[in-house]
Structure 1
Amino acid sequence: MSHRHYDQLITARWIITVEQDGVILDNHSLAISDGRIVAILSPAEVAGVSANEHLNLDNHVLMPGLVNLHGHSAMTLLRGMADDKALMDWLQNHIWPAEGKHVSDAFVFDGALLAMGEMFRSGTTTINDMYFFHAAMARAALAAGMRTFVGCSILEFPTVYGQNADDYISKAMAERSQFLGEELVTFTLAPHAPYTVADDTFRKVVTLAEQQDMLIHCHIHETMDEVNGSVEQYQQRPLARLANLGLLSPRLIAAHMVHLTDAEIALVAKHGVSIAHNPTSNMKLASGIAPVQKLLAAGVNVGIGTDGAASNNKLDMLSETRMGALLAKVGTLDPTAVPAATAIRMATLHGARALGIEHKVGSITVGKQADLIAVDLAQIETSPNFDPISHIVYAAGREQVSHVWVNGRNVLRERKLTTLDEAELKARADSWRVRILGN
């Protein structure tokens, strides 16, 4: 057998592949070349190979990077400024006025970089975002090296970014054209919510998404107020209205989906819609508990998101995965709802599937790109260790994420960011705090 040489070899005490629930490889190694996983090697097979870099992670779990299926990265600069308020009060009286004064290309770039630093340090390798000034978000993605879906917000009313729905759409498509072909950047159409977007605009979005082969990302059924308002205005619940407008398809990532009837769950399953479950944000804004167990049982693809740091207030997908598992149990009074392995699958492969990239990332499989994280379990907080899968969901904290790779590139090494300057991120965040307080 000829000697094999790779770019990188990562040997870990445990590898969670997420290909099959509960499967853990002991003391195996991943061989990576050109940013891809090219071999998974047993201890015996490693003896015959060499690599430019061989990393031994003796006390670590190696697993797929976490996919944050719903976020507003730039809003990290508004973290903690309007807490403990109802959604519409929070939006109309606090967040939207602050955004109106401060959101700009520079705000989005600085806020996104801050968010990406935080997300890397908690094991996220992909973010499905939704905001304004999309070129700034895309530039931040390339600067940080994060796999990023840039959601282009579309609303009927004016903001600092656009005047009306057509303006938002034309700006989105112009900015998208600057980044076509970038491996790490994909633009999506993000009509904000049923209560901020008119029928004609939804129809345009559906047509454009089909013509350009784009995903659609939208807040749907987040609160009972939203559902009741739709019944009053349109004489139907939001999901029925969106179904009539042709929005329900495998292209759609529906964020929140807290208030659903059994018939609506069946409708979502029939159309192949994916859902971004945001457990902490839903708790903090008192939106309710999404019926995750029922959705999964119906075959709906459910991933996990943090939402923005202004309504969470952490961009911590490890913590979010734990919350997703626990909330499902207390919401159903069933301790077997959403077991640990299912929660990990939701935070990785389900998110990748929602974004149409499950052939690239989301599990550890030969041929997939090396979007990976290592979590150090040799801490008192995760001792003794009977089951690494249980520990990842129920015991480990984000401070135990030691290494992160995106496309084979090591963006976090021994807790240190390699593509971003931590001191600069903090300094920029503080300068924005001063600016926002001054207004």
Structure 2
Amino acid sequence: MLRLRAPIVLPCDPSCSVLRDGVVDVDPSGRLGYVGPADGAPATEAPVRQLDGVLMPGMVNTHAHSPMTVLRGMGGDLPLMRWLREIIWPAEAKLSPSDMEAGMSLGSVEMLRNGITTSVEQYFQPDHVIRAVLATGGRMILGPAIVDTPGHSWRAQLDEVSARIDVDGRYPDDRIEIGYGPHAAYTLSPEALTTVAEAARARDALLLIHVAESPGEDAAQRKSHGSVPKLLADIGLLGGRVLAAHSVHLSDEDIAIFAEHGVAVAHCPGSNAKLASGIARVPELRAAGVPVGLGTDGPASNDDLDLWEEMRLAALVARLSTMDSAALTAADVLLMATRGGAAAVGRDDIGELAPGRWADVVHVDTASEAFAAGLDVPDEHLLANLVWGANARGVRNVWVGGEQVVADREPTRVERAKVQAQAGAVTSRLRG
């Protein structure tokens, strides 16, 4: 057992409470015990680690293609479909399984150092992607990509995912959960999408799919069905655990469809802005009761894996698009990055510092300029400094399932320089 104590603990409960002089207990199984004020904490003989700054839950990245760290910087000034067809898909065709593992290793290290303890990934070669994350100590929900493109059989990919879930859909300590990753309505037929959805619901597995990311990507679906959400509803894909990535171009009716079917959204403001895809209607989605988490998208379209940046961008674009300076507050986006992400993927064991949840804990150093006024400021002021003024470089220590996987900014399980060199070699070969 371990007790962590800090001047500020942010459980990221529904009211975004701020605990002063707080304690977070980690039990031997890697779960959380007592979380609350030090005054009143149960007596313990466990070692107590006193930390300066803030303790908060690990962030949940609800949409990523992290093996694409090896493609970072390629085609950075192209719109979505040209970027995919002219740059990314040809480059991905040259990646070996070991290349993808090297890219995932770098992505996992980057996320852990940024305070992201869980990522929702959609990519190929699941064995290699899983091996990379298990090595770094992160947590992942993986929807192996299902596409109907040259060189890929969606039926074979579907059967492989189903067999994998039937054998072991959750790995030890819930470090890895397997779901389904049908890419999009423009890369799979309605028949394929319906079949994947049926398999996912039968196993209560997460289904993650790109939806209405840009105006031009889904012209055929809009012409035949009115919108992508209408198509997905008509073919029976919606229902169960469905996570719709991007969901930028939605009408009021589309939002109502999502709310009716319990669909969650992975909001990726950085990628949407870089690719000029548009601005998602996040305030309207939240008002309709649609769960919304934050995602980075792939590191080739963002180009980093940083939810601190996404928190700020989400609030900024929401305020600009609505001309309302309170459209998303600091507390709103902090909860979207933590408990909101957990809710979006249907998990109640991560995303909040609460008894019984996994001890995924992030320690943020507050010695930076953002906290020049100290921590003895009103709660709203403290949250504003954390969200608007701090950044990922403030993350000092990270625990996943009670195990420390980042110590003083460095990963504990792998050598960062080696991981970076292996990924860099892949990029250099592709460039050559």
TM-score for both structures, normalised by structure 1: 0.93
Q: Give runs of aligned pairs for residues 39-50 of structure 1, distance below 5 A.
A: 39-45=34-40, 48-50=43-45
Q: CA deviation at 1:417?
A: 0.8
Q: Greater strand percent: which structure? A: 1
Q: Which runs of 5+ in 1 are unaligned?
A: 1-6
Shift in CA distance, 392/178, structure 1 to aligned 2, threshold 3 Å:
farther
Match of 1:195 in 2: 186
| Deviations 1:69-90, CA, capped at 9 Å, x for gaps | 0000100110002101010100
TM-superposed CA distance for 1:176, in Å, is: 4.5
2: CA distance, partners of 1:181 / 1:96:
30
* Counterpart-to-counterpart distance in 1, 2:362 and 2:88: 33
Q: Distance in 2 between matches of 1:195 and 1:414?
A: 44
Shift of 1:245: 1.0
Does the Cα contact within 8 Å between 2:31 and 2:358 map onto a contact in 1?
Answer: yes
Name the residue aligned to 1:67. Answer: 60
Query: What does residue 16 of structure 1 align with?
Result: 10
Cα distance in 2 for partners of 1:42, 1:235 equals 54
Counterpart of 2:32 in structure 1 is 37
Give percent identity, aligned residues only: 36
**Matched residue SS, 1:27:** strand
Cross-structure match for 2:142: 150
State the 4+ residue runs in structure 1 displaced beyond 6 angstroms.
Answer: none
Q: Deviations over 1:226-266 (max 9, x none)?
A: 2433233x343211111011112241100000011111111
Give how far 1:165 is off.
1.2
Shift of 1:318: 1.1
CA deviation profile, 1:392-413 (whole Å, cap 9, x unmatched): 2111111100111111111111
Hey, what does 1:401 align to over in structure 2? 395
**Matched position secondary structure for 1:239:** helix
Which of residues 331, 349, 355 is equivalent to 2:345?
A: 355
Q: Could you tell me the TM-score, scaled by structure 2's length?
A: 0.95
User: Given the alignment, which residue of 383, 392, 395 partners 2:372?
Assistant: 383
Runs (5+) with no aligned partner, structure 2: none
Which residue in the other structure is 1:91 paired with?
A: 84
* Shift in CA distance, 43/203, structure 1 to aligned 2, threshold 3 Å: closer
Displacement after TM superposition at 1:142 (Å) = 1.3
Q: Does 1:119 align with 2:118?
A: no
Q: In structure 1, what is the Cα distance between the partners aligned to 2:239 and 2:107?
A: 30
Aligned CA distance change for structure 1 residues 404 and 214 (closer, same or farther; 3 Å) = same
- Structure 2 match to 1:217: 208
- Of the structure 1 ranges 380-389 and 10-19, higher mean CA displacement relative to structure 2 is found in 380-389
Give me the whole-angstrom Cα distance separating, in 1, the residues matched to 2:285 and 2:320.
Answer: 16
Q: Indicate the residue corresponding to 2:248 in structure 1.
A: 258
Question: Distance in 1 between the 2:179 and 2:41 partners?
Answer: 41
Q: Which is worse superposed, 21-30 or 300-309?
A: 21-30
SS of alignment partner, residue 309 of structure 1: coil
What corresponds to 1:164 in structure 2?
Answer: 153
C-alpha displacement at 1:350, in angstroms? 1.3
User: How many angstroms does 1:45 deviate by?
Assistant: 3.7
CA distance in 2, matches of 1:315, 1:110: 16
State how far apart, in whole Å, the 2-side matches of 1:305 and 1:125 are: 13
Which moved further from structure 2: 237-246 or 19-28?
Answer: 19-28
Letter in 1 for 2:34: A
1:369-421 deviation digits (Å, cap 9, x = unpaired): 11111111121233224332112211111110011111111111111110121
Count of residues paired in the alignment: 424
